[in-house]
Structure 1
Amino acid sequence: METDYVKKRSLYQRTGVQEYWIADRERRTVEVWRLEGARASSELYQAGEIKSTLIPALAVEVSSLWQ
């Protein structure tokens, strides 16, 4: 997971990837990173629905990932 949280995140920010999701099976969480201009922010989800800001039709119920 360190690769996802550190190396890939840094690479994706440098190359302009606007949205990046990290699903952690052990913690049962999804962290969604979004790049807006030069600023990156993240939200941590443990339940509920996540909707992509880039792909309007993409929505995922967090609990469905662990079934």
Structure 2
Amino acid sequence: MAKANPLQFVQQVRSEVGKVTWPTRREVLLTTAMVLVLATLTAIFFFIVDFIIRQGLQALLTYFG
């Protein structure tokens, strides 16, 4: 495989970066907010599930212990 000239490489990289579609500020803020909301909802869900399981196990251990 032939090695590319460093200058050629930089030109190719700049050409490829020019093809990238960058998100707008609004898109970045919207997706960031969505990630934060969904992460919070997931944390709340697992907190509730953990609480229910803990209460159930404590009830079982109290009943049989």
Q: TM-score, normalised by structure 2?
A: 0.21
- Structure that is richer in helix per residue: 2
- Structure that is richer in strand per residue: 1
Report the structure number with the largest CA radius of gyration: 2
